[in-house]
Structures are given as structure tokens and as C-alpha cells.
């Protein structure tokens, strides 16, 4: 569930919005109708990592850690 709240909405208090976020609701804060922030529960972000989940799915090239050419840093094509 998503709740959209205007930044200057007078009836929305921070404690209410945090309560919504901790219950699983994603809170989107808008300003003049444009989304400017998202409030989500930290617990939702802190899922345990699974080691070796995609073992072998990515194979870096031999020059993976080679310094990038000057053209890259100069923004040249």
C-alpha cells in the first residue's frame, strides 16, 4: 500500500507517517504534486544477505580493475 502526503499537509504528523511506514505502508512525500521523498521502514531494507546466492552469474573481465583512460574522465566519446 502507498500513501501520498503533501509536504505541507497540516493533518499529517511525523509520528503517524512513521507508524504507517513501520506497518508496511510506503509513504511518498510530495511538494506541489511532485514526489520528493519516500519513507519506508528500516526493517524492510535490512533483510539478511544470502552469501553466494548467484555464484558464477558474473565473471569480471581480465582488465576489470585496470585504470580508466583519460578520455573517460574528460567526457570524450
> Which structural domain range is residue 29 located in?
1-43
User: Do the domain assignments include residue 14?
Assistant: yes
Q: What is the pLDDT of the chain when averaged over all its residues?
A: 84
pLDDT tens by residue, 26-44: 899 898 889 999 888 877 6
User: Do the domain assignments include residue 29?
Assistant: yes
Q: Domain count of the chain?
A: 1
Exposure string of 9-20, with b = 16+ CB inside 10 Å and e = fewer, is eeebeeeebeeb
Exposure string of 40-59, with b = 16+ CB inside 10 Å and e = fewer, is ebeeeeeeeeeeeeeeeeee
pLDDT tens by residue, 14-30: 888 888 888 888 899 89
Q: Residue 66, SS3?
A: coil
Q: Give the CATH number, domain containing residue 35.
A: 3.40.1620.10
What is the distance of C-alpha 46 from the center of its chain?
Answer: 12
User: Do the domain assignments include residue 67?
Assistant: no
4 - beta bridge partners?
A: 28
Amino acid at each position: 500500500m502507498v500513501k501520498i502526503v503533501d509536504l505541507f499537509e497540516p493533518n499529517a504528523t511525523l509520528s503517524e507517517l512513521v507508524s504507517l511506514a513501520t506497518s508496511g505502508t510506503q509513504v511518498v512525500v510530495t511538494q506541489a504534486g511532485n514526489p520528493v521523498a519516500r519513507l519506508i521502514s528500516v526493517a524492510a531494507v535490512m533483510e539478511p544477505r544470502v552469501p553466494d546466492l548467484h555464484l558464477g552469474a558474473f565473471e569480471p573481465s581480465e582488465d576489470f580493475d585496470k585504470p580508466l583512460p583519460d578520455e573517460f574522465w574528460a567526457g570524450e566519446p
